[in-house]
Amino acid sequence: MGVTIPGPSGEVKENYEISNSLRFNDDDSAYLSKTFASAGNRKLWTWSGWFKRTRLTGVVDSVFAGFTDINNRLRLNFLSDAIEIFGKIGGTTVQVVTSQVFRDVSAWYHIVWVMDSAQSTASNRMKLYINGEQVTDFSTTTYPAQNSESVVNNNTGHYIGQRGDGASLLDGYLTEINFVDGAEKAPTDFGRFNENNVWIPKRYIGTYGTNGFFLEFKQTGTSANSSGIGADTSGNDHHFTPTNLAATDVTEDTCTNNFATLNSLIASYASITYSEGNLALSASSTWTATIATFGASSGKWYWEYKMGASTTMIGVSDVDRNINVQYNHQQTGTVFYYNNDGNKYVDGSASSYGATYTTNDIIGVSLDLDSGTPTVTFYKNNVSQGTINLPSSMIGKTIVPIFEIQNNIKYVNFGNPPFSISSGNTDENGYGNFEYAPPSGYYALCTKNLAEFG
């Protein structure tokens, strides 16, 4: 599982905090778009951004693209597990594909893409950096011709979240997008290594050039202005137009405070479909289970679940448990469930526990790993259904949220809900957005809280 980008580095240097990201759900055909009024420097520019993946094999996730037509296009995307730059410049193919793969759905990656077609050495005309290090190992390399002018930075359509013709829609999270017109910038202009040798963001303090922009995703409006989701805060006012994006897509899950999601890498008994940034899930009529990307061996934790139609079970499990079995709730060992029929499943046996729950009910979960005997308490619409003692064999083990489902879509809220919240409550550290207030002393599953309590 692995916790990835931690909280504050503790260095004397500025601890640059990023407060928001934007969640893209490909099923919504969600993207941002902008057409520049005039062309900038089409030979020389730098794109920088942070990205968190949600799906992997067999997909193309378009991150950033310029597009005029099939012979004039250029884009940065994930190609299954690899990162690809692909396009056409006047009909001539440009393509690089990394040999390295990027499969961690709990991690935030920093990408810097530099175009400098004036360079005499072909490999210097297009550079790619991941987490502060230049990528030099590619499975495919077709670099642009010297002094060629790409469609990016032209007075044509630019897109974040699709490739320009409505295809290759993005599924994942983006934040801290900088585009610098007319300059090659180094990764160290946007990030740095902390004392633990982890690459973390740094405030960019340079100029942006004519068509440069900076997207922070701090606003929630749906228009192309300073109050919109695609607001440009570089000072250039190159605001992007949001399409099929809403206020609920602006989240607190960022590279400086990384929140749990569902772990789409986990092999489940039957197929699970993940959506909404790996916070919504559906399955066939076969019972199948999945877990969260984060767990803890100490601390007190809270999360919520919004019930969809049909049946579901919500619980906690030892992270080392094999969940790739049908009827996971019937297995003995370290897994505990609250079923929508009101029963609890402990050690594979069902017994009466609490109220039944159904569509749109909010089920809260509080997990106490600090009070001697580990306990879990479930809440239906903020009403406790009773505390369940977990066995002593779970003390010191990493415990994760687990979900077993049949049919239809359900939603998980680890603090960044994929659905509208009617009230809005944070934990005591001010993190997360929950329908109901977490119990006193319980916290959202995010890296800042884990660093303090986990």
Amino acid 330: pLDDT:
66
Domain final position from 251, 286, 319: 251
Cα first-last separation, the chain = 14
2 inside domain: no
Q: Please, are residues 411 and 418 in contact by the beta-carbon 8 Å criterion?
A: yes
Does residue 365 sit within a domain? yes
Is residue 398 within 8 A of residue 319, CB to CB? The reply is yes
What is the reported pLDDT for 326?
67
Please report the pLDDT score of residue 11 as a whole number.
Answer: 40
Please tell me whether residues 65 and 186 are part of one structural domain.
Answer: yes
Q: Tell me the two tokens of residue 76.
A: 């940065």
- Residue 190's pLDDT is what? 98
- The residues of the chain scoring below 50 in pLDDT are 1-12
Query: Residue 267 falls within a domain, yes or no?
Result: no
Are 210 and 291 found together in one domain?
no
Name the phi and psi angles at 259, rounded to 5. Answer: -95, 155
Task: Check whether residue 285 and residue 207 sit in a common domain.
Answer: no
pLDDT of residue 327: 63
Q: Tell whether 191 and 312 lie within a shared domain.
A: no
Please check whether residues 285 and 210 belong to one and the same domain: no
- Residue holding tokens 């290090």? 133
CA atoms of 172 and 55, how far apart (whole Å): 8
Task: Give the whole-angstrom CA distance, residue 182 versus residue 116.
Answer: 9
Residue 340 belongs to domain with CATH number: 2.60.120.920
Report yes or no: 424 and 433 within 8 Å, Cβ to Cβ.
yes
The answer to whether position 335 is within a domain reads: yes
Domain extent at residue 79: 21-251
Q: Are residues 37 and 140 in the same domain?
A: yes
Same-domain status, 26 and 138: yes
CATH number at residue 164: 2.60.120.200
Calpha distance 369→293 (Å, rounded): 18
Helices (runs of H) and strands (runs of E) counted in the chain: 1, 31
**284 shares a domain with 422:** yes
pTM of the model: 0.94
Specify the pLDDT at position 320: 85
In a domain? residue 9: no
Whether residue 183 is contained in a domain is answered as: yes
pLDDT at 401: 96
Same domain, 212 and 290: no
Q: DSSP string spanning 68-97?
A: EETTEEEEEEEETTEEEEEEEETTEEEEEE
Q: Would you state the pLDDT for residue 321?
A: 79
Is residue 167 one of the residues assigned to a domain? Answer: yes
Identify whether residues 192 and 287 lie together within a single domain.
no
Domain membership of residue 8 (yes or no) is no
Number of domains in the chain: 2
Query: Strand 288-291 vs strand 399-405: parallel, antiparallel, or unpaired?
Result: antiparallel
Specify the DSSP class assigned to residue 403: E
Query: Are residues 281 and 247 part of one domain?
Result: no
Say whether both 337 and 239 belong to one domain.
no
pLDDT digits over 243-256, tens only?
A: 999 999 999 999 99
